[in-house]
Chains A and B, each alone.
Chain A
Amino acid sequence: GAVVSQHPSWVICKSGTSVKIECRSLDFQATTMFWYRQFPKQSLMLMATSNEGSKATYEQGVEKDKFLINHASLTLSTLTVTSAHPEDSSFYICSGGLAGDTDTQYFGPGTRLTVL
């Protein structure tokens, strides 16, 4: 149980375009979803926290207008990288937390974004 999927698993786009990444909790309702970024051979850095039906809370240094997060339902959150540039190339990972068990997060497999 507690499976999280991400789509697409990898994407290549041209500089200046926008890319949307979906994160779905398949067998549970995720009241809170988290978005992380992972550079090669480095750790995960929390980008933002989103609660269903409300605006996301971004970590310091993360541009909210560049990384648009929508958490429209208890099973779906999306991250849109707007006007992507090569420096946005990274591995983006989402996770979901269960209501009443926020100390455990279930992670998706990640999305590899390459911006040319």
Chain B
Amino acid sequence: AQSVTQLGSHVSVSEGALVLLRCNYSSSVPPYLFWYVQYPNQGLQLLLKYTSAATLVKGINGFEAEFKKSETSFHLTKPSAHMSDAAEYFCAVTPGNTGKLIFGQGTTLQVKP
């Protein structure tokens, strides 16, 4: 079975500081991994995805994530947080190319001025 665990339901950083949102996955087959962002009262927006190509994936808004098979991790990072990054972030896995997304619990990112 596939599952996703996001460590930390709430992360708070200062503006300009490094953002690190943690995601670990479990999958019996090679996974596709995703990070989505959800702003209040809006739908989920894809930040980036890993689909078995380069292990370091760059996404929109300066975010990137690295797939580490040995650690079963896919942590999301951004060198310098902006106030506009405050939102809910979801890590998700889909086993192979099935299209069925399994989401983590979500992490709320707070950015302090």
Cα(A104)–Cα(B42), bound, Å: 18
Q: A27 interface residue, CB < 8 Å from B?
A: no
Q: Are A108 and B51 touching (Cβ within 8 A)?
A: no
Q: Within A1-26, which residues are at the interface with B (CB < 8 Å)?
A: 4
Report how many residues on chain B are interfacial, defined by Cβ distance under 8 Å. Answer: 22
Q: Which of B81-113 contact A (CB under 8 A)?
A: 90, 94, 97-106
Contact A46 B43 (CB under 8 A): no
- The answer to whether B43 and A43 touch across the interface, beta carbons within 8 angstroms, is no
* Distance of A104 Cα from B99 Cα, bound (Å): 7
For B103, list chain A residues within 8 Å (CB): 43-45
Interface: A78 (CB within 8 A): no
Counting residue pairs across A and B whose Cβ atoms lie within 8 Å, the total is 52
Q: State whether the Cβ of A83 lies closer than 8 Å to any Cβ in chain B.
A: no
Name which residue of chain A comes closest to B108, CB basis: A41
Neighbouring B residues of A105 by C-beta, 8 Å: 46, 99, 101
Contact of A43 among B42, B98, B106 (CB under 8 A): B106
Cβ–Cβ contact B99 & A42, under 8 A = no
A contact residues vs B (CB 8 Å cutoff): 4, 32, 34, 41-46, 49, 93, 95, 97, 102-110
CB-based closest 7 A-B pairs: A102-B99, A107-B43, A107-B44, A109-B43, A43-B103, A44-B103, A43-B105
